[in-house]
């Protein structure tokens, strides 16, 4: 009971700190936008005026006219471009240090303990909610619930983003390099049929190294994806898919189509709530 109370206090404190950090970020963003609007509008006026003067010197017969609506349109377009480029920065706080890869377990929990509910991944970029498919993938849901309750996912980075051919963000590895796991393996279950887009957007499935090798690593599908039918589907993103898509839009760190996300995303806490 003492351990449970301590974890609840830790989760509450972490949630409060995230809320305070995001409030500060929203205020900073508002200030930045105000400055951008002022700069862009003034710049548009100067450009419009300068453009008129230049064209006047060159060709008096074709003087361009700059109206207030045109200036507003230019300003909005520039603001949209600036904000699109900074979108991920706007939603993501500086990630906390990841934890040591020092938690292992002898065996998985009994699949009979699986219950429906929601797994919430509180990340430095916002919360991602996953509806658990306890009836379709009991062994997997029991394992993921167990690991979340043990704090296994807390302080772990999503280490792999793919943006070419398949569209997934992979998480759940405390080693941060694709080699980590809980110390046990779970069977495959709830495998989809082979076919086009058999892992649609919002699907949450287990990563593995072959049949029956699932552990703790999983992936979030952010756009319809076609894969071999070998990855257990155990949940569906019900909230926060926009966060995953923003991470994908920022791209891979090395500029390729598969690798470490350019925008770091760390699971701060993972909690399970009742259905």
pLDDT average, residue stretch 17-36: 56
Gyration radius of the chain's alpha carbons: 24
Q: Which of 9-13, 120-124, 191-195, 259-263 has the lowest mean pLDDT?
A: 9-13
> What is the longest distance spanned by two Cα atoms in the chain?
85
Q: Which residue has the higher pLDDT, 26 or 51?
A: 26
pLDDT per position as a tens digit, 203-258: 999 999 999 999 999 999 999 999 999 999 999 999 999 999 999 999 999 999 99
SS3 state at 116: coil
Q: In what order do the strands lie in the sheet with 117-123?
A: 156-157, 266-274, 117-123, 126-132, 233-239, 203-206, 218-221, 168-171, 160-162, 258-259
Query: Among residues 130, 137, 139, 170, which one has the least CA distance to residue 265?
Result: 170
In the prediction, which pLDDT does 258 show? 97
Quick check: 45 pLDDT over 60? no
In whole numbers, what is the pLDDT of the chain averaged over residues? 81
SS3 state at 20: helix
Tokens representing 168? 């997934």
In angstroms, the CA 78 to CA 3 distance is 52
pLDDT per position as a tens digit, 97-109: 999 999 999 999 9
In the prediction, which pLDDT does 237 show? 98
* CATH code matching the domain that covers 111-274, chosen among 1.10.357.10, 3.30.565.10, 2.40.100.10, 3.30.950.10: 2.40.100.10
Quick check: 59 pLDDT over 60? no
Q: What confidence category does residue 91 fall into, taking pLDDT thresholds of 50, 70 and 90?
A: confident
- Give the torsion through C-alpha atoms of 93, 99, 101, 103, to 10 deg: -120
Quick check: 165 pLDDT over 60? yes
Q: Which of 75-84, 109-118, 247-256 has the lowest mean pLDDT?
A: 75-84
Quick check: 1 pLDDT over 60? no
In angstroms, the CA 248 to CA 270 distance is 21
Q: What confidence category does residue 67 fall into, taking pLDDT thresholds of 50, 70 and 90?
A: low
In angstroms, the CA 190 to CA 137 distance is 6
Domain ranges of the chain: 2-85, 111-274
Percent of the chain exceeding pLDDT 70 equals 68
In angstroms, the CA 271 to CA 8 distance is 10
pLDDT average, residue stretch 69-74: 58
One-character DSSP codes across 21-86: HHHHHHHHHHHHHHHHHHHHHHHHHHHHHHHHHHHHHH-GGG-----HHHHHHHHHHHHHHHHHHT
In the prediction, which pLDDT does 90 show? 76
One-character DSSP codes across 241-264: HHHHHHHHHH-BTTSSSEESBSS-
Cα-based angle 138, 219, 229 (whole degrees, multiple of 5): 70
């Amino acid at each position: 009971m003492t351990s449970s109370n301590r974890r609840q206090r830790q989760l509450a404190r972490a949630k409060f700190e995230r809320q305070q950090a995001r409030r500060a970020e929203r205020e900073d963003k508002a200030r930045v936008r105000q400055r951008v609007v002022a700069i862009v509008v003034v710049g548009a006026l100067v450009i419009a005026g300068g453009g008129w003067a230049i064209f006047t010197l060159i060709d008096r017969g074709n003087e361009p006219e700059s109206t207030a609506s045109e200036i507003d349109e230019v300003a909005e377009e520039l603001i949209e471009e600036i904000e699109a480029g900074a979108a991920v920065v706007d939603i993501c706080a500086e990630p906390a240090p990841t934890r040591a890869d020092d938690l292992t377990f002898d065996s998985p929990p009994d699949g009979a303990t699986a219950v429906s509910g929601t797994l919430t991944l509180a990340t430095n970029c916002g919360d991602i909610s996953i509806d658990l498919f306890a009836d379709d993938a009991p062994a997997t849901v029991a394992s993921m619930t167990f690991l979340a309750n043990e704090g296994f996912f807390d302080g772990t980075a999503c280490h792999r983003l793919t943006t070419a051919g398949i569209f997934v963000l992979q998480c759940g590895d405390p080693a941060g390099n694709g080699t980590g796991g809980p110390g046990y393996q779970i069977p495959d279950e709830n495998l989809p049929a082979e076919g086009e887009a058999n892992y649609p957007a919002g699907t949450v499935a287990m990563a593995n190294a072959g049949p029956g090798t699932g552990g703790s690593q999983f992936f979030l599908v952010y756009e319809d994806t076609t894969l071999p039918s070998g990855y257990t589907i155990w949940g569906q993103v019900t909230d926060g898919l926009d966060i995953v898509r923003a991470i994908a839009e920022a791209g891979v760190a090395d500029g390729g189509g598969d690798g470490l996300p350019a925008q770091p995303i760390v699971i701060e806490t993972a909690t399970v709530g009742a259905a």
